[in-house]
Structure 1
């Protein structure tokens, strides 16, 4: 389930007035964690098992699954492991656990979280990931304790691409949009957050260690969080 972003954009460098930022909202997959795990799971590992179940080629299985993924893109079902387990007749949490050794934190993430805490920023992990997927990743990476609160889109009742998500999230967290930074690897999420009124938006241009860098044409971009740390 790879994100589509514009190609060949010049990098817009991030310059944020940290003294004016109170809250930092961080996406998980592709932003804090290497998205290679998710790309491999949805585009290779799951199609392999689906092909065995239905006695078809891996390519045919991949094509069938990609078509089904697209029907629920930008909805809660997109990342709902229970939904896909029912739809496909497979135990997706179990399959994810089998390859959890591929789950990894991006370089400089911990240093950035440390920096935010020293700056006394409120830290929130905001993810579209299903709660069962979140549990697997938090158990593997142990990044949970860094955050003031962790919120799944399922808890909010809408995906981050939906404006309703942000209206409900603000009611839940009581943050000041104009003094909030959101970091995400999906441009559509950033556009929606900007419509909501978030003051500071940042795009992650290297969500997967196995894919080439793609800068945003519309938002400041980073490859690694090191770029936000004081030198």
Structure 2
């Protein structure tokens, strides 16, 4: 991973799930806990539940409704909020993230969270992990009506924040989102080497990836 030209960076834009928080919570919830509880609540086998849910997930992936708890609660006829509370003990900050956040704040960088997470999901996580004090703003894509995968999200973000993409760093664990940011003109981009601590490193394609955020602090 190359060192960052911190003198050329004023704004740091950070994703939440898989970037600052361990993605294990979300992967476990959507791939294991939700299908199991859906099967129980609807009186079917787990295999049948997965057969019903998989095409639904695939059809909505990358769209704003994919991240919307209200959408899934209505679609699946259950309370996703309540089900998330059942596994909330798995919500965890990456061990290196707190050190990094404190360092970039102390260095005087503008630090903004931009997440596709629904506001209810964001609130649930902020109740369990103290993230808010590190950030100037906590922005959900639902505030703008477009997911981060969409060019319209980035237009809305610039109109809202008045930031300079050419002097910004953006870190995210999702490749289509990083590509959308690159197309918009964000100059400094990093993927995340291991978003889910239980799954090992992932292929980050054309993007350099951060493995330990403490490695980024050099040169601040």
Please report the TM-score for the alignment, with normalisation by the length of structure 1.
Answer: 0.92
Could you say what secondary structure the match of 2:204 adopts?
Answer: coil
Q: Does 1:24 align with 2:9?
A: no
Cα RMSD for the two superposed structures = 1.1
Alignment of 1:30-179 (within 5 A): 30-179=18-167
- State the partner residue of 1:193: 181
Matched length = 219
* Alignment partners' CA distance in 2, 1:26 and 1:167: 17
Which one is further off, 63-72 or 87-96?
63-72
* Alignment partners' CA distance in 2, 1:14 and 1:193: 19
In the alignment, which of 216, 220, 229 is matched to residue 217 of structure 2?
Answer: 229
CA displacement at 1:99 relative to structure 2:
1.3
Could you say what secondary structure the match of 1:25 adopts?
Answer: strand
CA displacement at 1:220 relative to structure 2:
0.9
Could you say what secondary structure the match of 2:17 adopts?
Answer: coil
Counterpart contact for 1:206–1:224, Cα < 8 Å: no
Could you say what secondary structure the match of 1:201 adopts?
Answer: strand
Which one is further off, 56-65 or 151-160?
56-65
Q: Deviations over 1:133-178 (max 9, x none)?
A: 0000001101111100000000011000011100110110000000
CA displacement at 1:53 relative to structure 2:
2.1
**Unmatched segments (≥5 aa) in structure 1:** 1-12
* Alignment partners' CA distance in 2, 1:59 and 1:227: 43
CA displacement at 1:54 relative to structure 2:
2.2
Counterpart contact for 2:3–2:218, Cα < 8 Å: no
- State the partner residue of 2:168: 180
Could you say what secondary structure the match of 2:171 adopts?
Answer: strand
Which one is further off, 142-151 or 59-68?
59-68
* Alignment partners' CA distance in 1, 2:216 and 2:50: 38
* Alignment partners' CA distance in 1, 2:24 and 2:119: 19
